[in-house]
Amino acid sequence: MDLYSNKLPIIIIIILVGILAFQVLSNEKSTTIIDSETCELYIEDFQFGGKKYLGEFDSKCLDFKNLNP
């Protein structure tokens, strides 16, 4: 394949888009979830198999808990 051909940039773009799509799909395994008891945000990561609390609280959840004692 000649370096100056018109097909080379298209092939490189297709390869880079494929790598980007793979990265996006593999990163969706860790998601941010709200703990229903404490309204604290945590990440459940399947690579190490546990929860990591972020030290942040969801304000809507706290407001809802205050309305329903």
Per the structure block, which two tokens stand in for 49?
A: 């198999």
Residue 1: inside a domain: no
Residue 55: inside a domain: yes
Of the pLDDT bands very low, low, confident and very high (cuts 50, 70, 90), residue 1 is low
pLDDT in tens, 30-68: 567 888 888 888 887 766 677 888 888 888 888 887 776
CB within 8 A of 61, min separation 6: which ones?
Answer: 34, 36, 39
Residue 48: inside a domain: yes
Q: What angle do CA 24, 54, 40 make, to 5 degrees?
A: 110
pTM: 0.45
Confidence at residue 59, expressed as pLDDT on a 0 to 100 scale: 86
By three-state DSSP, how is residue 54 classified?
strand
Q: Is the pLDDT of residue 28 over 70?
A: no
Q: Which domain holds residue 31?
A: 7-67
Residue 22: inside a domain: yes
Q: How many domains, in total, are found in the chain?
A: 1
Residue type, 39: C
Task: Give the torsion through C-alpha atoms of 58, 61, 66, 69, to 10 deg.
Answer: -130
Residue 27: inside a domain: yes
Residue 53: inside a domain: yes
Residue 39: inside a domain: yes
Residue 26: inside a domain: yes
